[in-house]
Copies of this chain bind each other. A is one copy, B any other.
Amino acid sequence: MLFLTLFYVAIIVEAMTAALSAGRRRMDWVGVCLLACATALGGGSTRDVLLGHYPLPWVAHPHYLVVVVAAAIATIILARFLDRLKTLFLLLDALGLVVFSIIGCNVALEMGQPVLIVIVAGMITGCTGGVIRDILCNEVPLLFRGELYASVSIVAGVIYVGGLHLGLMHEVVVLVTIALGFTLRALAILRKWQMPSFVYNKDWH
C-alpha cells in the first residue's frame, strides 16, 4: 500500500522533471506530455521489452498514462512555483530511483532470472527513463556523466536481493533498501560526490 503510493510519487516526479526539461527546449504542450510519458514509463517499458515480459505496465494499467499526462500539465501550469522546490524534487527523484529499482528487481525475480539479471533489471527500470528523456532532448545522457545515479540503483538492487536471500521479511527488506538507497543518493547530491571520469582525447576517426 505504502509501496504503491511511492510508485505513484515516482512516476509523477519523473513526469514533472521531464516536463521541465521539455520546457527548457520550448516544446509544445503535446510534446511535453509525450516526453513525460516516455520518461516516466520508459524505464519499465524498456525492462519489459528486453526481458520479453508482456504486457508492458502502461498497457496493463492505462491509467498510468492519465496520471503522467496530468502531472505534465500540472507542471506547465505551476512551473513558476517550482523553482523553490528544486531540492524537494531532487529528493523525491532519489526516492523514485530506489522505488523503480526495487520494482524492476521484482519483475525479474518473478520471472526466475539469475541474480545479475535481477540487479540489471532494477537498474534499467530506475535509469532508462532519464536516458530516453535526454536522447529526445538531444543531449548526452546525464546518467553517463559523473553523478552517482546508476550506482545508487545497483547498490539498492544488491541490498534488496541480498536481504531477500537472507530470508528477511519482504516489507523489512523493502524499507531497508529504500532507506539506504535514498540516503546514499541524498548524500551524493548534498556532498556533490562524483564518480571519477574517464577522459580520452585521441580522435581515431
The residues of B that contact A19 with a CB separation of less than 8 Å are: 198
As for how many copies of this chain the complex holds, the number is 3
Which size class do A's interface residues fall under?
35 or more
Task: Check A136–B145 contact: CB distance below 8 A.
Answer: no
Q: Report the stretch among A49-57, A95-103, A166-174 that lies at the interface.
A: A49-57
Known: A51-B59, A198-B79. A27 touches B138 (CB 8 A): no
**Bound-state Cα–Cα, A81 to B24, Å:** 38
13 A-B residue pairings within 8 Å (CB atoms)? A22-B200, A23-B200, A24-B200, A24-B201, A27-B144, A28-B194, A28-B198, A31-B195, A32-B144, A51-B56, A52-B54, A62-B114, A79-B198
**Bound-state Cα–Cα, A50 to B145, Å:** 29
The residues of B that contact A51 with a CB separation of less than 8 Å are: 54-56, 59
Known: A54-B52, A136-B140, A136-B141. A204 touches B31 (CB 8 A): no
Interface residues of A (CB under 8 A from B): 19-20, 22-32, 34-35, 45, 49-52, 54-56, 59, 62, 65-66, 76, 79, 83, 86, 89, 113-114, 116-117, 120, 131, 135-147, 150-151, 194-205
Task: Check B137–A140 contact: CB distance below 8 A.
Answer: yes
